[in-house]
A and B are shown apart, each in its own frame.
Chain A
């Protein structure tokens, strides 16, 4: 069964460092998303991406964040200068847009020290 894959599963970084989280969505999907979940809190929407551009972003997704689909298969989330409060689980998701069903990856845990 096709699945969304994310790397790394866990990354530890120092405050102020740049981090890139990678995702490989399901191959025939057209819509891509990043969500995050701070420990013990809700799953929060960050950004959606379609047709090589951002279709919507939340207030959380400020200038420190960017997304890219560099090669037609990977979908990346970059955090330019990490802060302590960026520590969270980051989930990538993809969907066809037909049924509204989103497929989520297993997440990348980011720890900022």
Chain B
């Protein structure tokens, strides 16, 4: 079972920041927070991951609370193409043996 809790849906206006929350209160010390998204019925797409420090890449920023029990994915300037289901997943970093377990995610709708 997924070890994260996310709101089922969110809305965001185009051009505004989308802030997607995730609770992972039972996260272990060796587990990272990963974010993926799935646009329509395409294959899931990696966005970003982090352990305890905030992370930023060309797609998004990841803010992890100091106690690591929750995080927020930030899409700084959402576009219509960011409409997707966003998944927050915790798993250990090392080893490809560690599969991703997808929950229901957050369905983000970006509107004009």
Contacts and interface: CB of A to CB of B under 8 A. Distances in A.
Interface of A: 4, 30-31, 33, 35, 37, 42-45, 48, 50, 55-56, 89, 91, 93, 95-97, 99-107, 109
A106 B94 CA distance: 25
Contacts, number: 65
Interface size band for B = 20 to 34
Given A89-B41, A91-B44, A100 B101 contact: no
Interface of B: 32, 34, 38, 41-46, 49, 87, 91-104
Contacts of B100: 45, 102
Contact of B93 (A37, A44, A99, A107): A99
Q: Is the interface of A mostly helix, strand, loop or mixed?
A: strand
11 contacts: A33-B99, A42-B104, A50-B97, A56-B97, A91-B44, A95-B96, A100-B92, A102-B46, A104-B44, A105-B43, A107-B43
